Amino acid sequence: MGNTDSMSLLKTEVDDNLADSLEKSMSLVASAISAPSRVSILCALMDGRAWTATELSAVAEIAASTASGHLTRLLNSGLIICLTQGRHRYYSLAGQHIAGLLENLMGVSMHPRISPTPRTPVNMRYARTCYDHLAGELAVKIYDFMLREKWLEADGNALTPEGKSQLQNLGAVLDPHPRRKACCPCLDWSERRFHLGGDAGSALMTLLLHKGWITRTPGYREVNMTGSGAIAMKKLFSLNLP
């Protein structure tokens, strides 16, 4: 067999091994999120905060010992991380990429074969957290405004100079060298349209919280609009809120 044939065979074997490895990795992740209790835990962690095992067992309505096994499975699959502070251990999603995976999975799961009556609570459909940025009807409307006003590039993958200037003038702190995407469209599972993700989405939500325009309830993903927030949304984003 010539050198060329040997190299081609070796490349084929390497490619096959990589494909097998990828398939096994994907299978492990899919298996890790196949149990309803683990899904409940992951959904709770979508609020962007770190939770204790006891808190997560209560959310999933399972015994603490059962929750421990589920958390170990999620840790081993790379979906969550464990943080230790003193005697306490806290669990959180492994990062924004995992939150994006879950949000997309929610969208696929909610895809209507027929037109069902939405069962998601109205407040959660209107405004909620998507890890560290805002989601729901409110977030989609803000995103649409930013597109219309040319604050975003047409594909939503970057702020325009005007958009960056406008957000900074509002008081948003944008990371000049973010470790993730500076800006990206994130598919909203309840609205089936995009809201603002990436570092820009996180900066916007931090700004809204800092200004007191929205509030959060510990342990829940729902976001509440304040009176001053409704005024600000109309002034800044031309939104007439209910």
**Domain end marker among 56, 72, 96:** 96
- Residue where a domain stops, chosen among 37, 64, 96: 96
Give how many domains the chain has, as a whole number: 2
The reply to whether 34 falls in a domain is yes
Q: Are residues 129 and 231 in the same domain?
A: yes
Q: Are residues 126 and 227 in the same domain?
A: yes
Give the pairing of strands 88-93 and 80-85: antiparallel
Q: pTM of the prediction?
A: 0.61
Q: Is the pLDDT of residue 173 over 90?
A: yes
Name the amino acid, one letter, at 218: P
Q: How far apart are CA 70 and CA 88, in angstroms?
A: 18
- What type of residue is 152? L
Whether 195 and 112 share a structural domain: yes
- What integer pLDDT is reported at residue 113 of this predicted model? 46
Per-residue pLDDT, 117: 44
CATH code of the domain in which 64 resides: 1.10.10.10
Q: Encode burial over 46-58: b for 16+ CB neighbours within 10 A, e otherwise.
A: bbbbbbebebbbe
Residues 180 and 140 placed together within one structural domain of the fold: yes
User: Do 64 and 166 sit in the same domain of this protein?
Assistant: no
Looking at the fold, whether 82 and 166 belong to one and the same domain comes out as no
112 pLDDT exceeds 80? no
Residues 183 and 204 in one domain: yes
Q: What is the mean pLDDT of residues 147-153?
A: 95
**Mean pLDDT over residues 223-242, rounded?**
90
Percentage of residues in the chain having pLDDT higher than 90:
46
**How many residues does this entry show for the chain?**
242
Q: Is residue 47 part of a domain?
A: yes
Query: Structural domain of residue 116, as residue ranges?
Result: 106-237
Are 166 and 134 part of one and the same domain?
yes
Residues 59 and 136 in one domain: no
What's the confidence (pLDDT) of residue 114?
A: 43
Q: Which band of pLDDT confidence, cut at 50, 70 and 90, is reported for residue 19? A: low
